[in-house]
Structure 1
Amino acid sequence: MTVRVLLVSPAMNAALREARFAGDAALDASGVRAAAPAAPHVPEADRAVHGPSERCSRTAEALGLRSSGEPALREWGLGRWSGARLDEVSAREPEGVAAWLADPSAAPHGGESLLDLCARAGTWLDSLQGEVRVLAVAEPSVVRAAVVHALALPPQAFWRLDVAPLTLTELSGRSGRWNLRCGRPLAPAPAG
């Protein structure tokens, strides 16, 4: 049976604006304001879930979804780097950042490696067999990891995928055979 997985990236927050390893940074007022006009454009689904972060749960709420938390969709576990800005970590641990960016198995921060993240997202994605339409509000790193898994891309492709706030990435198919439709904005662009 074909499964359609609708991955919605959460709204903007201060951590994204500051290039911060978010941890569990809250959705701010501007993120809530941006999500409200997108609510009527959220596709229907048989089941809705959201990552456990406050940013994902508040985005789901602002979009008017009745969703449940899904632990497998948690943000990339970046250990001691969580909450710090990328430029701070790069200045403090340049070799660690270089290893993290170059080696998908590296976890110099003490958290998950890129391979671990992709495996976690892939396990969740593959568990959806028998479902029809699942909508998930998930952190951009999880969306990217799911795409890498679904398309059997090399892990380094993760760094080449951009997931903007409040966009929809669609995967359809089943374990071992997925198709991708990426980056559709949830709300039409404002007239300008």
Structure 2
Amino acid sequence: MTVRLTLISPAANEALREVRFDDDGPLDAAGIACAEAVASAVGPSPRAYSSPSPRCRRTAEALGLPSEPVDALAGCAMGRWRGQTLAAVAAAEEAAVSAWLSDPAAAPHGGESLRDLRVRVGGWIDELREGSGRVTAVVEPDVIRAATVHALAAPDSMAWRLDVRPLTAVHLSGRAGRWNLRTGEPLGPRQR
């Protein structure tokens, strides 16, 4: 049986709206309302997971998915940049931000590199066994980028070219070594 993995990006919160490196801030009332409004578009899943962040866990709850937080699906560890806006970091550390954006192995913030994130997330995906059936995970946008790059065996730098909007779904089907991709499905009420 083919694995059918649906990766759902969380609803927006203050950090996302401010283009700030996530600091495990909660999902605010507006984000909860948006997630609840599209919950009918998310079918039940026998196996549901989430990034351990409060934003992803709360989005999964609002979508009606009883999910298990998985450390391997955590967003990229951003070290000393955590909680800061990209604009503030770029103003203070222009060369470091440039290195981070151009070299997937760079981690000038003292956290995790883009490559390390892809390897971690890819390892989790590859552990999904044939016969796993349908799996749903509410995960941070950078986790969706890493999973997509891994599944397509694309260069790590391609992650920067993937735009992941809030409350959208990316579908991977197949198994380790061979995945198919269906991208960018916005969540919304099911059409009858």
The answer for the alignment partner of 2:171 in structure 1 is: 170
What residue ranges of structure 2 are gaps of 5+ in the alignment? Answer: none
After superposition, residues 70-149 of structure 1 pair within 5 angstroms as 70-130=70-130, 131-149=132-150
Matched residue of 1:23: which SS?
coil
One-letter amino acid matched to 2:7: L
| RMSD (Å), alpha carbons | 1.1
Matched residue of 2:52: which SS?
coil
For residues 48 and 84 of structure 1, the distance between their equivalents in structure 2, rounded to whole angstroms, comes to 30
For residues 27 and 113 of structure 1, the distance between their equivalents in structure 2, rounded to whole angstroms, comes to 25
Matched residue of 1:5: which SS?
strand
One-letter amino acid matched to 1:5: L
The answer for the alignment partner of 1:27 in structure 2 is: 27
Q: TM-score, normalization: structure 2? A: 0.96
**Deviation per residue, 1:3-36 (Å, 9 max, x gap):** 0000010001111110000121211110001001
Matched residue of 1:26: which SS?
coil
Instruction: State the percentage of identical aligned residues.
Output: 57
Query: Displacement, 1:114?
Result: 0.7
Matched residue of 1:184: which SS?
strand
What residue ranges of structure 1 are gaps of 5+ in the alignment? Answer: none
For residues 153 and 77 of structure 2, the distance between their equivalents in structure 1, rounded to whole angstroms, comes to 22
The answer for the alignment partner of 2:60 in structure 1 is: 60
**Deviation per residue, 1:37-68 (Å, 9 max, x gap):** 11111033220011100000000111111111
For residues 37 and 154 of structure 1, the distance between their equivalents in structure 2, rounded to whole angstroms, comes to 36
The answer for the alignment partner of 1:184 in structure 2 is: 185
The answer for the alignment partner of 1:160 in structure 2 is: 161
Contact 1:23 1:75 in 2 (8 A): no
Contact 1:36 1:63 in 2 (8 A): yes
After superposition, residues 35-50 of structure 1 pair within 5 angstroms as 35-50=35-50
Query: Displacement, 1:188?
Result: 4.5
One-letter amino acid matched to 1:170: H
Aligned length: 189
1:151 aligns with 2:152: yes
**Deviation per residue, 1:111-156 (Å, 9 max, x gap):** 0001000001100100111311110000000000000000001111
For residues 67 and 105 of structure 2, the distance between their equivalents in structure 1, rounded to whole angstroms, comes to 33
For residues 119 and 25 of structure 1, the distance between their equivalents in structure 2, rounded to whole angstroms, comes to 25
One-letter amino acid matched to 1:155: D
One-letter amino acid matched to 1:121: V
One-letter amino acid matched to 2:28: D
After superposition, residues 5-20 of structure 1 pair within 5 angstroms as 5-20=5-20
